[in-house]
Structure 1
Amino acid sequence: MKQATNTSAAVAIAENKVTLEQWRALLAVIDAGGYAKAAELLNKSQSAVSYAISQLETALDVKVFHLQGRKAVPTPAGELLYRRAKQLLEQAGRLEKSAACLSVHVEPLVKIAADIIIPPIFILQCLEIFAKAFPDTRVEIFESVLSGTEDALLQRQVDLAIGGRVPPGFMGEKLVTVMMHGVASPVHPLLQLGRPVNHEDMRQHRQIIVRDSGQYRRRTEGWQEADQRWTVSHIKTSIDAIRMGLGYAWLPDAYTHDDIAAGRLKYLPVEVGSAREVTTYLTFADRDFAGPATRHLAEVLKENLPKMCSFS
């Protein structure tokens, strides 16, 4: 029976005997549990929905419902077709979006450089929003540190960049002000002094530093005068080292917020400069020639990142 249903359905689809509207009627009746509620869902008359189902059954030569009182209950064939129709309509929806994108010359690929001073999870959450409007546009993310973001723009590797500086010849707009604090493990010696920490204290202990990803590694940020320094490539590695009591660092609050709240990390009681602000900017490689997908992604980032990075 199932094989016959599959064959007749495939033939009907191939010969265009069943329309998308008829498949929508099938889904609506099953989802709503009856013809009357399906009619409300589709904003059609009940007779129109009933006629669509009748036409579908005739085209496929199969019964898709039987009545139990006033309720339309799908037959085994109807349940099978429901699953297939749902996939078909989802594919049709994606096809319509793809066609709409092609009609307005949407770029097939958007490249973005994002300094990891903003947690990558926030960038991914923005991309999730972006993908709803541009599902067929591919995205490449370059996770960068300090001058690596500028290099990506200068070398025209990306369409958009999020970083702490705007290189000469480019126009950026303020995106997020990132708050950073000195942090260490609760058992770190600097937190056992019982007084504010000064520069001489910090110089005697290991600092964990995140490496500049730029080609020439020409930038440093924050306190860099500790006699002992370990350099890593990602903030997450720095946090792991600090949790282990291996050193201290200045890190964005977005990364340390949960650890501070849970007591796994503590702020360094520094005499001067315990907190610092880093302004990040959103910069187009070429705003005039940016396509609709790139522009839309920029708007999503501007609307959502400030809220995601707020821990007030």
Structure 2
Amino acid sequence: MYRAKTTIEQWRILQAVVDFGGYAHAANHLNKSQSSLNHAVAKLQDQLDVKLLEVKGRKAFLTEAGEVMLRRSRHLTQNVRDLEELAANINQDWEPEITIAVDLAYPKKFLYPALKTFYPASRGSRLRIIETVLTGTEEAITEGWADLVISPMMPRGFLGEPIAECSLHPVCHPQHELASLEGPVDLNDLQQHLQLVIKDTSKTPNEKQGWLKSEQRWTVSSFETAIDLLLENIGFCWLPDFIIAHLVADKSLHRLAIKGSSLRPVICYVVKPKPDSCGPGTNLLYQTLIQQSAFNTSFQE
């Protein structure tokens, strides 16, 4: 088993000597004697058999090798500091890891600013962001495997705060047969054409949601794949407006008008599946998502 020759304290002393421009100022900052710092750095160099510092006048300067070693040592001491802070946070019931399930229907332009705000206060907690769809999102709530869930549906017995809204629109290629029909498209017309469907991430998918009456269906795992197929003039698909707006605007895709309904409005909620067991980090992220939400003004009224 490997045993380290050096100690974290030796590297901290070396960093202080460099950062404060010499042994005297570093000793004052660390509340140690100058001789103890001299001894620690000298021992460090002997243990490594590498010259790290050279003294010119009253100032200590890094050698070329010392610059490389110092740079790497800062990562080491920071990791130790983070590790110690994480241990303290665990003792204070701050979660070492937070899992958030995010349905693909949620506009992530609201998610990223919230995560950016949350990060400085996250206390080193790891964050797992898992994308889900349809029943898979519902399972994240009902089975409680995620600490937070952003969902366009609310299973019975659960509560959530609305944080965004969007709408799903049926689209196809401008040269698709459906795009050439005059007037609104009849549902019978849709049933005769290939429909692209986003894969349900549930362990036991239950295709009960959405319009799924087409005899022909291709299932894909992402919006990006669906769009790639649409751009090749393959099938039609219901997609969120925030995904397709620019493609419809530049006429790469055609938005279908359908008799009875040309869009499906969606409200996304942030849900705490197990609210009584949420730790302080989860609660902070929950509040941050609400504050950064599209409905923020309504919450402040």
Aligned counterpart, 2:15: 23
Structure 2 length normalisation: TM-score?
Answer: 0.72
Compute the displacement of 1:51 (Å): 5.9
Q: Match for residue 106 of structure 1?
A: 94
Cα shift at 1:154: 1.9
CA distance in 1, matches of 2:251, 2:134: 29
Match of 1:198 among 185, 201, 209: 185
- Name the counterpart of 2:25: 48
Which residue is 1:185 aligned to? Answer: 173
Can you give the 5+ residue segments of structure 2 that lack an aligned partner in the other structure?
Answer: 43-50, 296-301
Is 2:272 the counterpart of 1:265? no
From 100, 103, 106, the equivalent of 1:115 is 103
Match of 2:206 in 1: 217
Check 1:10–1:128 CA distance in 2 against 1; reply closer, same or farther (3 A cut).
Answer: farther
Cα deviation 1:203-250 (Å, max 9, x = unaligned): 4433222344443615322x4444543344443332232122111112
Alpha-carbon distance change, 75 to 157 in structure 1, aligned in 2, over 3 angstroms:
closer
User: 1:208 aligns to what SS in structure 2?
Assistant: strand
Q: Structure 1 residues 124, 92: CA separation in 2 closer, same or farther (over 3 Å shift)?
A: same
Give, in whole Å, the separation in 2 of the partners of 1:124 and 1:22. 38
Q: What residue in structure 1 maps to residue 265 of structure 2?
A: 277
Whichever residue aligns with residue 15 of structure 2, its letter is W
Q: Which residue of 2 aligns with 1:59?
A: 40
Are residues 1:207 and 2:195 paired? yes
Alpha carbons of structure 1 residues 47 and 217: separation in structure 2 relative to 1, 3 Å: same
Unaligned runs of 5+ in 1: 1-8, 30-34, 39-45, 308-312
TM-score by length of 1: 0.70
Structure-2 change in CA distance of 1:104 and 1:272 (3 Å): same
| Contact preservation (8 Å) 1:64, 1:77 | no
RMSD between superposed Cα atoms in Å: 4.0
Change (3 A) 1:89 1:269: same
1-side partners of 2:139 and 2:233: how far apart? 34
Partner AA of 1:188 in structure 2: H
Contact 1:57 1:64 in 2 (8 A): no
The code of the aligned residue for 2:25 comes to A
The residue type paired with residue 219 of structure 1 is: K
Q: Report how many residues are paired.
A: 278
**Larger relative helix fraction:** 1
